[in-house]
Amino acid sequence: MNEFAQRQVLVCLRELTDAEFQERVWLRGEGPEVSSAPELVSQLYDDTSLGDLLESCGQEPVFSPEADMLLVELGDLLDEIDLYSDVATLLSHPKWLEVRRLAKKASELVGHAIGQTGDIAEGEGNAS
């Protein structure tokens, strides 16, 4: 995975953890960002090729064994959720709270693996 895709994974994970961002952008439609839960998940697993890389058995870890395992678990949980449901319902769903928790831990592990433990630079914070 190239450096740009690695940083995009981290940006997406951080947006998955950010309840204020989700409520402001997804629920209220405020701000310059354009994003939605389905779009963000697609960016995380499809646009970065993360989903394909995680499915490749016998390969080197994408980030680290622990981070990769958590990203698979997060993907499995996201598959159980109707991302196209009403945004207010989605954001209050108990599984969505678990998504945020897993995404936070995954962002810490991925950030450590790629040497990016601080905030993403200004202008790179929106994955859309």
Q: What is the pLDDT of residues 33-67, one digit of tens each?
A: 999 999 999 999 999 999 999 998 667 899 999 99
Q: What is the chain's alpha carbon radius of gyration, rounded to the nearest angstrom? A: 14
- CA–CA distance, 89 with 57 (Å, rounded to integer): 36
Q: What is the pLDDT of residue 119?
A: 60
Q: What is the pLDDT of residue 118?
A: 64
Other beta carbons within 10 angstroms of residue 81's beta carbon come to 16
Q: What is the pLDDT of residue 120?
A: 54
> Which residues, given as ranges, of the chain have pLDDT below 50?
121-128
Report the phi/psi class of residue 31: left, alpha or beta, with left for phi > 0 and alpha for psi in -120 to 50. left
pTM of the model: 0.88
